[in-house]
Amino acid sequence: MKKYLKNFLRYKYLLTELVKKNIKLKYRRSYLGILWTLIEPLLTMLVLTLVFGTFFGNNDEQYPVYILSGRLLYSFFSSGTKSGLRAVSGNAAMIKKVYVPKYIYVLSTVISNFVTFLISLVVLVGVGAVLHVQPTIYVVQAIVPLFILLIMTTGISMILATLNVFFRDIEYIWSVFTMLIMYASAIFYQPDRVINTGNGWIFGVNPVYMCISNFREAVLYGTPLDAHYCITSAVISVVLLIVGILFFNKKQDEFILYV
């Protein structure tokens, strides 16, 4: 463990530079630049509120905050894993020329998406203030589901990045899975509607929903986190991270033959 930590610290400057590079490249040809990080979720919230609020008769004044909080967390998970999936194969030229611990590419991609996500939370604060969401002491607990989601995204990205080196179709398969996860995460509907149909088990096996639900408890409702959701999502995330690290380390020496 000490050897791995020493190796990580040796490349921390490169990690920082790669994070900066990823953020700059994401908005390189955008006139709005980083502002699009704030505008995009706001526009998405307005559309979803119009469709699922106005047309379907949801009159809750704070419904836009409900949608936005779920959408932001899911967007980070989706973009983080999709970018992480291509982290190794997308840096093939550098991998062939210079030795760098290959996990640095995956980690930098996930972190850059997380930084962008944190910036986008400014929109949530603004919308919450406009719609009179009263923050409570429990808002500090929002750090917990965010940290769990970060670990989960990193673990899944390590697995996907490894698989994508050998099976390029993984990218298309994962796109379908992320769509299924979105619909199973109660982003724009109340979970009671699903639970009342007897399909509530979907939420019990979806750690992304657990993180979204706990984030809403802390930020929107001002209540303590659901301990069961916290423990379950944390265990799943740690397991995914361990599996991802072991799988990545086992296969990384073969990357050079396939990238």
Length reported for the chain: 259
pLDDT value of position 257: 81
pLDDT value of position 39: 80
**CA pair distance 253, 247, nearest whole angstrom:** 11
Residue 64's CB is within 10 A of a number of other CB atoms, namely: 21
Average model confidence (pLDDT) across the chain: 89
Residues of the chain with pLDDT under 70: 1-4, 7, 29-34, 54-58
Q: Which residues fall within 8 angstroms of residue 206, CB to CB, at 6 or more apart?
A: 181, 184, 185
Q: How is residue 7 written in tokens?
A: 């190796």
pLDDT value of position 259: 74
pLDDT value of position 4: 62
Q: Which residues fall within 8 angstroms of residue 81, CB to CB, at 6 or more apart?
A: 153, 156, 157, 160, 174, 178
pLDDT value of position 1: 59
Q: How is residue 203 written in tokens?
A: 């939420």
pLDDT value of position 164: 96
**CA pair distance 66, 89, nearest whole angstrom:** 36
| pTM of the full structure | 0.93
